[in-house]
Amino acid sequence: MDILRFITAGSVDDGKSTLIGRLLYDSKSIMIDQLEAIEKQSKNKEDGEIDLALLTDGLRAEREQGITIDVAYKYFSTPKRKFIIADAPGHTQYTRNMVTGASNSDLAIILVDARNGVVEQTRRHSIIASLLNIPHVVVAINKMDLVNNSEDIYNNIVIDYAAVATSLGLKDIKYIPISAINGDNIVEKSPVFHWYQGESLLHILENVEVANDINYTDARFPVQYVIRPQTEALHDYRGYAGKVVSGIYKVGDKITVQPAGVESTISAIEIGGKQVTEAFAPQSVVLHLSDDIDISRGDIIVQKDNQPSVENELDVLLCWMGNKPLIAGNKYLLQINSRVTRAVVKEIEYKLDVNSLLKELAPEQAGLNDIVKVKIKTATPIPFDSYKKLRVNGGAILIDETSNVTVGACMIQ
């Protein structure tokens, strides 16, 4: 049994909350008391049917306003898998929230309303899925019941979407006709889509191969903390605690510590206090080196024959998340894994229209939810990989030093 993290992209009108409610309900992840609570609320509404969408509306403020404020996380499991859903809202702050939810997702479900087909919003969600490099996409064509479960309508939407997917370079796309409100094709294959050859949505989610998405080639180990007991018995113990974010490390491997470029050899590896001979992503471990060298939090231990870039000038695709605009020349803190360094956004090259992919060259500033290409200079060289190649060592955040707020998501090119 492993874990699949996925994000659902779509607005309230696409039936996103109903879909999540349906997945939870039909996989028996909703308990009686939770159902009673939403039944009670549903009665306050007009139609009297249980409103599955209420399962995902967390806060009172949201229920009152009928909106979602923030990313909510939902959990369910089947005997095959544990699922973590990042449920991101569909209104104006969507880009920021979807980027947040997408950053940890293995898969995106992109909801399309069968009555409307591929619309501007579908493109926007797909562009974000592609920018964040989500490995798998499921296009769920919903509300099929409202178009008489028409195969023709479904096929036309698939053709339209395939064009979008090609232009964005999205890989591994699956299509499925569903009716979230009726539960058709959600857990079981529904006979109303007798013309559909594929599997049910849950079957797809249970079987999509995610273990292969982990990179076992480019080993990266950001040091989080140095364990030094300094007791009599463990006087010389010095262990580097961190998570193998990618790749494999073995005792005896020749390594380099970046950004200093110092070399050494792995002398021991511990997991939960036990000695092992190798560690792989995404294990949290303690590494020991054969040389007594100066290593601290923020350094990264890599294989000697497989190096990241170490530079202080970065090309970055940036999703701006701050309420105050980004202005070229402003200084921030850049955090990549455990490393924090001062940084200046030197130049905004262009702003990307997330609906059309058109570029507006050299804008003066960028606002909340804008995606811009920028040049960033850091105070010291940082070790990184391109986000496209290695998500776990190519994503960074920008922090406003005066408010301490996270204001930007950087995908280093």
Partner 1 sequence: MSQHRLDYLDQLESESIHIFREVAGQFERPALMFSGGKDSIVLVHLALKAFRPGKFPFPLLHIDTGHNFQEALDFRDTLANTIGEKLIVRNVADTIKEKNLTEQKGKFASRNALQTYTLLDTIEEFKFDACIGGARRDEEKARAKERIFSVRDEFGQWDPKLQRPELWNTYNGRIHKGENVRVFPISNWTELDIWNYIKRNEIELPSIYFAHDREVLEWQGQLVATSAFIQVDDTDKVAVKKVRYRTVGDMTCTAAVESTAANIDDIIKEIIATKTSERGETRIDDRVSEAAMEDRKKNGYF
* Distance of closest approach, residue 282 Cβ to partner 1, in angstroms: 6
The only residue of 65, 92, 284, 355 in contact with partner 1, by rule CB under 8 A: 284
Whose structure tokens read 């990179």? 215
Q: How far is CA 139 from the centre of its chain?
A: 17
411 phi, psi to nearest 5 deg: -110, 105
Using CB under 8 A, pick the residue from 3, 119, 293, 362 that binds partner 1. 3
For residue 382, the cross-strand partners are 311
The enclosing H or E element of 249 equals strand 248-250
Does 283 interact with partner 1 (rule: CB under 8 A)? yes
CA 127 to chain centre: 14
Q: How far is the CB of 325 from partner 1 (least distance, A)?
A: 17
Q: Where would I find the beta strands (DSSP E) of 152-199?
A: 173-177
Sites for partner 1 among residues 366-395 (CB under 8 A):
391-392, 395
Q: Out of 163, 227, 357, 379, which residue is the one contacting partner 1 (CB under 8 A)?
A: 227
Is residue 78 within the footprint of partner 1 (CB under 8 A)?
A: no
- Using CB under 8 A as the binding rule, whether residue 7 contacts partner 1 is answered as no
| End-to-end CA separation in angstroms for the chain | 34
C-alpha 54/C-alpha 37 separation (Å) is 9
Binding of partner 1 at residue 342 (CB under 8 A)? Answer: no
Residue 329 as a binder of partner 1 (CB under 8 A): the answer is no
Residues 6+ apart with CB under 8 A from 232: none
Residue 253 identity (one-letter amino acid)? D
Closest approach of partner 1 to the CB of residue 214, in Å = 8
DSSP H helices, 212-337, are none
Among 156, 182, 224, 307, binds partner 1 (CB under 8 A): 224
Contacting residue, 65, 115, 120, 216, with partner 1 by CB under 8 A: 216
| Pick 183 or 239: Cβ nearer partner 1 | 239
Q: Which of 22, 189, 243, 288 binds partner 1 (CB under 8 A)?
A: 243
CB atoms within 10 A of CB 38: 19
Is residue 69 close enough to count as binding partner 1 by CB under 8 A?
yes
Answer for which of 84, 146, 147, 162 binds partner 1 (CB under 8 A) is: 84
Nearer to partner 1, 159 or 234 (CB): 234
Question: 281: number of CA atoms within 13 Å, CB side?
Answer: 21
Around 194, how many Cα atoms within 13 Å sit in the side-chain half-sphere? Answer: 3
C-alpha distances out from residue 205 to 77, 176, 187, 214, 336, Å: 11, 12, 10, 17, 30
State yes or no: residue 77 binds partner 1 (CB under 8 A).
Answer: yes
Phi, psi of 7, rounded to the nearest 5 degrees: -115, 145
- Quick note: the x/- pattern for partner 1 over 30-59, rule CB under 8 A, is -xxxx--x---x---------------xxx
Cα–Cα distance between 119 and 123 in angstroms, integer? Answer: 7
- Give yes or no for residue 225 binding partner 1 (CB under 8 A): yes
- Interface residue with partner 1, options 335, 365, 369, 386 (CB under 8 A): 335
Give me the least distance between CB of 221 and partner 1, in Å please: 12
Rounded-to-integer distance, Cα 29 and Cα 74, Å: 10
- Name which of 125 and 189 has its Cβ closer to partner 1: 125
Which residues from 99-138 bind partner 1, rule CB under 8 A? 99-100, 103-104
Cα within 13 Å of Cα(294), Cβ side: 2
Stretch that binds partner 1, among 44-52, 68-76, 141-149, 253-261 (CB under 8 A): 68-76
Stretch that binds partner 1, among 14-22, 199-207, 250-258, 334-342 (CB under 8 A): 334-342
89 binds partner 1 (CB under 8 A): no
Nearer residue to partner 1 within complex by CB, 48 or 273: 273
What does each C-alpha distance from 124 to 99, 207, 389 come to in angstroms?
Answer: 11, 27, 22
> Least distance (Å) from partner 1 to the CB of residue 135?
14
